[in-house]
Structure 1
Amino acid sequence: MAYTASSQTDVAIPAIPLGEVLPWAIFGGLLLMLALYFVGAEQGATAMFKGMYVHEFVHDGRHLLGFPCH
């Protein structure tokens, strides 16, 4: 004898208002742009810090993302 269990439950997924998501999306985007600056442009004329400390810290990430550095 085949056993068939059928129990249907309605699951309501709450909608997240745009006003709650937008500040976090902007904050995340700013953090990503800051990280992209440090990985991609932190050397030479646009350097914010003296020396090559940031460049050496993100050196492998630069090559992984395709930024030439030497």
Structure 2
Amino acid sequence: MANVCEICGKGESSGMNVSHSNLKTKRTWKPNIQRVKALVQGEIKRVNVCTRCLRSGKIQRAV
């Protein structure tokens, strides 16, 4: 599954793991993407949406 929200475009972000001894290693943070049925322009489609967009009501879930 793609790690990109089709509504807001949120995707992976990168940074560093930092240990107590200040050693740094690269890591990524992935968004919480859900594949849901939603109303898109009057049609029911399956879309990849982040949970932030679902909670805020930016997309209407189909029943």
Output the TM-score relative to the length of structure 1: 0.19
Q: Which has the larger radius of gyration?
A: 1
If each structure's strand is expressed as a fraction of its own residues, which one has the higher value?
2
If each structure's helix is expressed as a fraction of its own residues, which one has the higher value?
1
Structure with more relative contact order (C-alpha pairs < 8 Å, separation 6 or more): 2
